[in-house]
Every structure is written in structure tokens, then in C-alpha cells.
Amino acid sequence: MEIAAVEKVITIAKLPTTTVTTVEVESPDQELYLLNRRDEKERDRLDRQSNAIRIVRDGHVLDPRIPKQNVSRVADIATGTGIWLRELAEEFSNGGYKLLETVGFDISPDQFPKNPAPENKFVLWDMTKRFPKEYHGTFDVVHIRLVVLALKVEQIKGVVENLVELLKPGGYLQWTDMSYRNGLKITHSADESEPLWKAGIDKMFKYWGDQGFSYDPPDDVEKILQNLPVEDVHVTDHTFAPYQKPGINDLVIEWQSRAKALIIELLSSRNGLSDEEAKMAAEIITT
């Protein structure tokens, strides 16, 4: 599977003044996200995935165009285990910088750290809803990644607007996601013409279309940002990183093979297969 992690780094030109108020946090609606099995196996997959993305991005957690000396408060959307925030704190510490506060938002609290430090807050929230006003205009950086299986096309505009609303004037939005505008190519030793392999890919793309997911969230986000009061929109395409850097190819294969296996397993289960049959289907297609 080729990586197409395309990042959007945006500097806010101007944001309206907001009134800080305390609001009651709502319970999120039922989530759309397919990979919502939040057990230890999934926690391990997410942590390995985060490490793979960092390596593909030349070791950077925060985009190097963002000046760390101006960053003190960061939000991570769809934070999951909070792994990106932990990696960010390590990167800042190693560089002699200090984060004052981080806030991780997610539609489910199941993977939140049990005992986070006082400066590391985790909040139950659905990103498709406007965030509480107390968070508006308060973050130097808002980060989000890999929500391609969590948002329908018609939801992306609202989410982008919600995230921009969180930024301080001069703040940055970093968005990393997958692009499938040219189809899905797997970095894998298997013959791509093999029927079981093709059947699995066809099943994945049918689900994509049936659910109304975007085949190219980065492009959608970029177009939406063109109509918002932002500047300095940069797109970084890491599609060919595994080929340009042979040393990371095995890591990418492991990361994406695990993700593909999980998708096939969950889709097979939704199509009526037993848990055991669904696992077998995933193993057959990905081996």
C-alpha cells in the first residue's frame, strides 16, 4: 500500500474574537469510524503506526515549518491513545522546548491514558460538532491525522471549520491523511492479480463508496481552506517514501498490512461472517 500522508500546515491570518465560557460537554453521537475496536491489540497497532509515520516524515512529529518557540498549547483531535502528544512532548523536550498544556479530544475515552499529568488533558468530544467556546482561539497548534475512515465527504467542511475555530491568531493546523485518488497500491510481495487479494481490495473500496467516505481527504481539506481566512497552506506528499528510502520499506509494509487485515476482518464481520471466519478471511488476504 503506498503511503499518501499529505499534510496541511496552515497559519491563521485572522480569527474573530470569542467569549470564553464554560459549557457542559455533550456525549458524542454514535461514531462512524470503522476501526473502533479499542483493545490492547489495537492500541499496539496505533502506537506502531505512529512510529511508522514519524519515520516516514524524517523523524518529525511537528512539521518543521512550525516554530516550536511559539508553541505552548496544543490540541490533538481523534487522539486515541494520545501517542502523538507523547511523541510531541518528547520532541519538544529533546529540543529544549517546553509545552505548557496539551488537550486530546476523541469520540471515545476507551484509550485515554489512565493517569495523565495535570498539564495533559483528555476530553470526550465529537469533532463533527463545534467545540465548547472555552477552547475557541486558545491553541497554537491543532493536529489531526488518519480520519479517512471516520468522516463522510459532507462532514469534512464542518470539521475543518471546527478545527480552525480552535486556533489562536497565527496558529497552525497540521492534518495528515491518506489519499486514494489514484487507487490503492499495496507495498506487498503478493501478486496483485491474485483473486483473493483483488477481492479484498474491491470489498474495501465498495465500503468506502457505500459509506460516503472521501477518496482524497487531503485534497478536500485544501480546497475548503482556500475559502477560509488562512494563509501559508503547504502540502507535503509522502506517497513514495518507501521507494525513496528502502530502509523503511519493511516498516511500512508491516504498518499497512496490519491496517488492511483489520479492515478486512471488520468488514467481513459486518457482512455476516463469524468472528473466526472474519479473522481467517483477513489472514488469507494479507498473507
**pLDDT tens per residue, range 85-94:** 999 999 999 9
- Position 192 in a domain: no
Band of residue 231 on the pLDDT scale cut at 50, 70, 90? confident
Percent of the chain residues topping a pLDDT of 90: 32
Measure the CA–CA gap between 77 and 175, rounded to whole angstroms. 10
Q: What is the CATH number of the domain that holds 66?
A: 3.40.50.150
pLDDT of res. 216: 85
Question: Would you say how long the chain is, in residues?
Answer: 287
Q: Could you give the residue ranges of the DSSP H alpha helices within the chain?
A: 40-56, 83-94, 153-164, 195-211, 217-225, 241-244, 249-270, 275-286
- Position 129 in a domain: yes
- Position 255 in a domain: no
Band of residue 100 on the pLDDT scale cut at 50, 70, 90? confident
β-pairing, 101-106 with 230-237?
Answer: unpaired
State how far the alpha carbon of 241 is from the alpha carbons of 58, 189, 246, in Å: 10, 17, 8
Cβ atoms within 10 Å of 13's Cβ, excluding its own: 12
Q: How many domains does the chain have?
A: 1
- Position 136 in a domain: yes
Q: Which domain holds residue 53?
A: 6-181+213-238
Of residues 262 and 221, which shows the higher confidence score?
A: 221
Question: For 198-202, 211-215, 281-285, which range has the lowest pLDDT when averaged over its residues?
Answer: 281-285
- Position 152 in a domain: yes
Q: Taking 60 as the threshold, does the pLDDT of residue 172 lie above it?
A: yes
pLDDT of res. 259: 61
- Position 205 in a domain: no
Q: What is the pTM of this model?
A: 0.74
- Position 105 in a domain: yes
- Position 80 in a domain: yes
Q: Can you give the C-alpha Rg of the chain in angstroms? A: 19
Contact 245, 58 (CB under 8 A): no
Measure the CA–CA gap between 92 and 94, rounded to whole angstroms. 5
What is the per-residue burial (b if ≥16 Cβ within 10 Å, else e) of 205-226? eebbeeeebbbbbbebbbebbe
Measure the CA–CA gap between 209 and 194, rounded to whole angstroms. 23
